[in-house]
């Protein structure tokens, strides 16, 4: 497990990137890299800031371990279907190191988060779900794969630069009776990557407490993840009542594999997304429309 906001000296970062310390210090002084200073006035760089710079400058890492990152294996991520199969097998054999190395390699190499979530992870779990459905795997393997994936995503989240002070707020969750946590965690990470102050409130939450969270946080976006619905007619009634009671400033975004075309017609929402790519586009537009003066990352 790597620290939330580990900071490194220019010498360590220069070694990680494979450039001279003087070049690295010049980039800092040119403002290309955000730095903090120790009490003694020494420059320090956060791991998230170094990764942001590498993704923006399309640079790779010569010695990732110098800043606590796994080896970056670009060859292993050349082909989506191949890397998805490798990740699936690593999950099913509880090989956390390989899952971590491949997901970090994708992110540090510049992959958009929605591509990692929509084109790889969601497909891997659809296949794992089928294998369980066909009794090809024990149920514990599906659950353990889920735990490993969620732990690794939470670690990957520490590489996403934190939102700036005063940035707009987005929160979300899955509803009572729905125990799925990964989709909501993914939406949170997408939001943070766009500069939002975002929190996934977690799973299995009743509407009353969600309304309390909305009154506390006054979010510009509230998302609901619907992966499992016990009683559809009860949900339609309670959901539309909830949507009715949202403050005008809060837009309601929904998504999830439990949303059938039939159900979609009966729910009130601002936007219904099929994947993370769509919520990213929506959140970017709302950000720019509602916060023209706030610098976007």
Residues forming contacts to ligand B12 in the complex (CB under 6 A) are 117-118, 121-122, 125-126, 128-130, 133, 142-143, 146, 177-183, 186-187, 223, 225, 227-228, 253-257, 273, 275-276, 279
Taking the complex as a whole, the smallest distance from the CB of residue 274 to ligand B12 amounts, in Å, to: 6
Taking the complex as a whole, the smallest distance from the CB of residue 35 to ligand B12 amounts, in Å, to: 35
Nearer to ligand B12, 22 or 285 (CB): 285
Cα distances (Å, whole numbers) of residue 55 to 108, 159, 275: 6, 11, 23
Nearer to ligand B12, 104 or 223 (CB): 223
CB 237 within 8 A of CB 268: no
How many degrees, rounded to 5, is the angle at CA 108 between CA 277 and CA 69? 135
Nearer to ligand B12, 27 or 117 (CB): 117
Taking the complex as a whole, the smallest distance from the CB of residue 170 to ligand B12 amounts, in Å, to: 10
Nearer to ligand B12, 146 or 201 (CB): 146
Taking the complex as a whole, the smallest distance from the CB of residue 85 to ligand B12 amounts, in Å, to: 16
Q: Pick from 178, 150, 148, 297: which is nearest to 238 by CA?
A: 178
Q: How far apart are CA 240 and CA 99, in angstroms?
A: 39
Nearer to ligand B12, 44 or 141 (CB): 141
DSSP code, position 175: B
Nearer to ligand B12, 46 or 145 (CB): 145
Taking the complex as a whole, the smallest distance from the CB of residue 231 to ligand B12 amounts, in Å, to: 11
Q: How far apart are CA 104 and CA 89, in angstroms?
A: 17
Q: What SS3 state is found at 44?
A: strand
Cα dihedral 40, 46, 52, 55, rounded to 10, equals: 100
DSSP code, position 222: E
Taking the complex as a whole, the smallest distance from the CB of residue 268 to ligand B12 amounts, in Å, to: 15
Q: How many CB atoms are closer than 10 A to CB 24?
A: 24
């Amino acid at each position: 497990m790597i620290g939330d906001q580990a900071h490194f000296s220019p010498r360590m970062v220069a070694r990680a990137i494979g450039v001279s310390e003087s070049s690295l210090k010049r980039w800092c002084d040119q403002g290309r890299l955000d730095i903090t200073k120790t009490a003694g006035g020494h420059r320090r760089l956060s791991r998230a800031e170094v990764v942001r710079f590498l993704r923006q400058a399309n640079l790779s890492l010569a010695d990732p371990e110098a800043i606590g990152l796994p080896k970056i294996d670009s060859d292993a991520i050349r082909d989506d279907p191949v890397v998805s199969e490798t990740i699936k097998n690593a999950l099913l054999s509880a090989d956390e190191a390989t899952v971590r190395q491949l997901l970090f390699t994708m992110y540090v190499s510049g992959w958009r988060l929605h591509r990692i979530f929509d084109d790889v992870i969601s497909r891997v779990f659809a296949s794992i779900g089928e294998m369980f459905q066909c009794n090809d795997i024990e149920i514990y393997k599906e659950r353990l794969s889920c735990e490993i994936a969620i732990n690794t995503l939470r670690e990957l989240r520490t590489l996403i630069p934190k939102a700036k002070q005063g940035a707009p707020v987005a929160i979300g969750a899955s509803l009572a009776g729905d125990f799925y946590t990964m989709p909501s965690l993914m939406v949170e990470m997408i939001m943070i990557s766009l500069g939002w102050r975002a929190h996934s409130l977690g799973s299995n939450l009743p509407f009353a407490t969600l309304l309390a969270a909305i009154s506390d946080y006054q979010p510009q976006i509230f998302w609901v993840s619907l992966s499992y619905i016990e009683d559809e007619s009860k949900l339609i009634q309670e959901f539309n009542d909830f949507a009715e009671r949202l403050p005008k400033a809060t837009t309601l975004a929904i998504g999830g594999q439990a949303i059938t075309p039939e159900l979609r017609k009966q729910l009130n929402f601002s936007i219904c997304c099929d994947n993370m790519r769509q919520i990213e586009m929506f959140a970017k537009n709302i950000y720019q429309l509602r916060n023209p003066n706030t610098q976007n990352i």
